[in-house]
Structure 1
C-alpha cells in the first residue's frame, strides 16, 4: 500500500505556492492581483513561504539603509533594494524604521492615514448648497438671519404634537439635532444626550427645540464674528496683507 507522509512540519516554499496559485481561480474582485503575486512567488523559488516584514530603501540614503540592516534583530535576509526581517512584528518594524530615519536626518513621519467625513444634512432636509441659502448657515450670516434659518429648518418631528408625545421624534433624521450634536452643544455632551433622549421619548416638541437651537446659533455667530473682528484688527496692527493675486471665478480678484 502507499505510505502516508506527514509533512505538516515541512516548509511550504514559494515555488510550491506559485504552483498552487496558478491552478486557483480567485474571486473576480482580486483576480487582477494574481499575476503579480505569481511573479513574486516564482521569483522566490525555494525560499520558505512564511511571515516576514520587508523594508525597502526607496527613499533611504545608503548610510541609513545600512544602519537599518544592522539594527534588525533576529533572522533577516538582505537583498538589493530591500531587507526581509522574520522576527519583527509590523509595529516593531515601523518603529525601528522611524527611529533610524530620525537618527539620519529624516522626519520620521507616520504612515499616511485616512479620515472620514459625515456631511451634515442641510437645514431644508437635503444637502447643503451655496445656491440655496436657506439650506446652510454661513459664518458671515447676520446673527438674526442665522436665528431665522434655524427657526425655519426642517425637523424629524411628527405631524402633530400628540403624535410627537406618543411616538417620539426622529432625532436621527433631524437637521436641528445635528446642529446640537456637531456645533451648538460645544463640549457639552450631556446637552446633546438630553436633546436626543427628550426628542425620541416624546418629551421635547419641535417648536421649543428649534427656539433653543436658534438662540444658541445667534449667540454662536455673535461670538464668532466678534472674535473675527478682533483678529482682523490684530492683523492690521501686524501689517499683514491677506489680498491674493490669484484670480477668482469670472476673472475677478
Structure 2
C-alpha cells in the first residue's frame, strides 16, 4: 500500500485552531448557562426571603381597660395560691419577648390562644374567648381564694377601675363595711341593699364594689350598672311564678 500523505502544515494548523475555537465557544455557552441559572427565580438554590411577621405592640393598661368596659368583660384571677401570673388561664412561657401565654381547655384538649407581652393582655384574650356571660359565670363559680391588697390593686388598674376611698367608712372604701367581732372575712360589700360577699381585705372588697357599679356603656346608657341589672332580674322573678 502506498504510504498516506500527510496534510500540509497549513491545513493541520487550521484544524487545530478550529477545535480550539469550538472549545472556547462551548465554555462560553456553559458560563452563560450558569449565569442564567443563578439569576433565575426558578433555580432550586434561589430561595426567596420569607416575609417577617408583624409583631403587634403590647396593649397598654388603658387599652385593656377600654376593651373590658366596651365588651363587658373582666379579668379572671387565678384560684391557685402559687400562680405566677395572677390570672386564670395565663401561664409563663419563658419567652423574653412574649413571656405569657393564654390557654383554655376545649373538648378535653388545651388550646393556645396566643402569646402576649403582659399577663393582663393574655387574661383579656382568655376572657374574650369565654365571652361576657361565661366570664361572669366563671367569676361567680371561682374558688374563693382571697386576693391580697396588692393583687386587688393590680386587678383594678388592669381593668381601668378606681377603688373609691371614703373617710366615712371604717374600711376606708366606699361600699365596704367592716363587720363587728373577730372574723376571717370581716369586710362586706353592699350595693343598694344587696350584700355581694365578705372578704379578707378592704381592697378586695372595694374591687368587687367597683366591678358591680361600673357603668355598662355598651348598653347605650351610662347610668346602667351591673347592680341595676341584678335588681331588675330579682324584681321580675318576684312577680313571675316559679313554675313558668
- Under TM normalisation by the shorter chain, which class is it? under 0.3
Higher strand share: 2
Structure with higher Rg: it is: 2
TM-score of the two chains, using structure 1 as the length reference:
0.23
